[in-house]
Amino acid sequence: MTDKNILLWDETLFKELEVLEPDYLPDYFPHRDTQLNTLRFALRPMLRGMRPVNCLLVGPPGTGKTSAVMKGFKEIETHAKNVLAIKVNCQIDSTRFAVVSRIYKKIFGISPPASGVAFRKLFDNIVDSLIRSEKVLLVALDDLNYLCYEGHANEVLYSLLRAHEEFPGIKIGVIGILNDASDLYRLDARVNSVFLPEEIAFPRYEYSEIRDILRDRVKYGFYPKVISEEVLNLTVAYVERTGDLRVGIDLLKRSGLNAELRGSRKVAAVDVEKAYEASKILHLCRGISLLLDSEKKLLELAAKKGEIQAGELYKAFHEQTGLGYTRFYGIVNKLRSLNYVDANFSGKGQRGRTRIIKLKLEAADILNCLEKKA
């Protein structure tokens, strides 16, 4: 006789696994009505074939910024056939040539040669195509801060936003997505004078909001009674530690897979706890793997030294890398915006301006990820 509590080999707990993927775009997008409406208003001129209002979406990781943009893309492309919208991941495409190559591929359906073709040639081809087709180009620069860190933000934004001065009739709008607007201090005056973005804030989700969103994913992602209120509350509690909703969605998926592995028809607390240990490390290691060697070195020093004054950390960093204070300061700001470290003023020292650098995550987890990528 078969035990009804045992999940058979050909059965699953998931009603629709796609709902638990990080890039899934739900029809229901709760707790972001204000942000979505502001974005829609900024994009509205595109319905009349005009340039949109440039936007800057700012907020911590996992607060719905990219999803809001993709939802905006979907809506504007449905109602305006003359719009060409593209999202560029600046963690991957972090130079002017890489960004323009991504746009080129969107327009022509093929990637340009990786070498031997000048930026100017690619950009001229893009502009010619847009003018001939009378299309408006909308470019979302996701993780715009990576362009800032590598010193390419000015040339990318300048090329896109001032193209109309050289090519009459061209219409291009830009949406910047980043964690911390302070990274934009690197933009020069000639860019700021044309960018002038509408800033849209995406605050961290509160406990009740996280619960609403994850409950909705449970409803459509799992069969009934697979996830209990107790298990949902435990998942929400883990997510609230970081405020990153992506961790919660991944956690639900992994917890379900763990339960299936046990042959259980229900997800238990032990499945969530086991999944959280794997999920938090996976996301952390993925992020750390994208850092430059000098950035990894500074993060390693911070992890090994614990709470330390910025001056002392800089001395150790300079001894090992030979890099100067300007680069050190830039890396600290980058690690801070990525939520890896705190860099607060202590109130001590000359005029109370001594900065204390300390990790916001477990040192053992940081070092484990750095070791894996060594």
Cα separation of 195 and 10, whole Å?
Answer: 55
180, 201, 222 - which closes a domain: 201
Cα separation of 311 and 309, whole Å?
Answer: 5
Token code pair at residue 41: 């208003």
123 and 218 belong to one structural domain: no
80 and 63 belong to one structural domain: yes
186 and 45 belong to one structural domain: yes
Cα separation of 232 and 7, whole Å?
Answer: 21
217 and 343 belong to one structural domain: no
Q: Is residue 4 part of a domain?
A: no
353 and 254 belong to one structural domain: no
Backbone dihedral angles phi then psi of residue 108, each to the nearest 5 degrees: -100, -10
Q: Is residue 162 part of a domain?
A: yes
Q: Is residue 26 part of a domain?
A: no
Residues 6+ apart with CB under 8 A from 369: 281, 284, 285, 288, 289
The CATH code of the domain that includes 149 is 3.40.50.300
Residue type, 97: F
State the pTM of this model.
Answer: 0.81
List the beta bridge partners of residue 56.
176, 199
195 and 267 belong to one structural domain: no
Averaged in consecutive runs of 10 residues, what is the pLDDT profile of the chain (374 residues)? 71 96 87 96 94 94 93 93 94 90 95 84 94 96 85 91 93 92 79 92 93 96 97 94 85 96 95 88 80 90 91 94 89 82 69 77 90 67
Residue 1: the pLDDT is 39
Residue 3: the pLDDT is 59
The CATH code of the domain that includes 236 is 1.10.8.60
Give the residue from 268, 236, 230, 267 showing the smallest Cα distance to 249: 236
Q: Is residue 121 part of a domain?
A: yes
201, 220, 240 - which closes a domain: 201
Q: Which residue has the tokens 């002017």?
A: 96
The DSSP secondary structure of 282-296, one letter per residue, reads HHHHHHHHTS-HHHH
273, 288, 303 - which closes a domain: 288
74 and 131 belong to one structural domain: yes
Q: Is residue 316 part of a domain?
A: yes
296 and 281 belong to one structural domain: no
Q: Is residue 368 part of a domain?
A: no
Domain that holds residue 343: 292-362
The CATH code of the domain that includes 324 is 1.10.10.10
Q: Is residue 2 part of a domain?
A: no
What total number of domains does the chain contain? 3
246 and 225 belong to one structural domain: yes
Residue 351: the pLDDT is 46
Half-sphere exposure in the Cβ direction for 312 (13 Å, CA) = 13
77 and 177 belong to one structural domain: yes
Q: How many CB atoms lie within 10 A of CB 203?
A: 13
Q: Is residue 86 part of a domain?
A: yes
265 and 134 belong to one structural domain: no
192 and 58 belong to one structural domain: yes
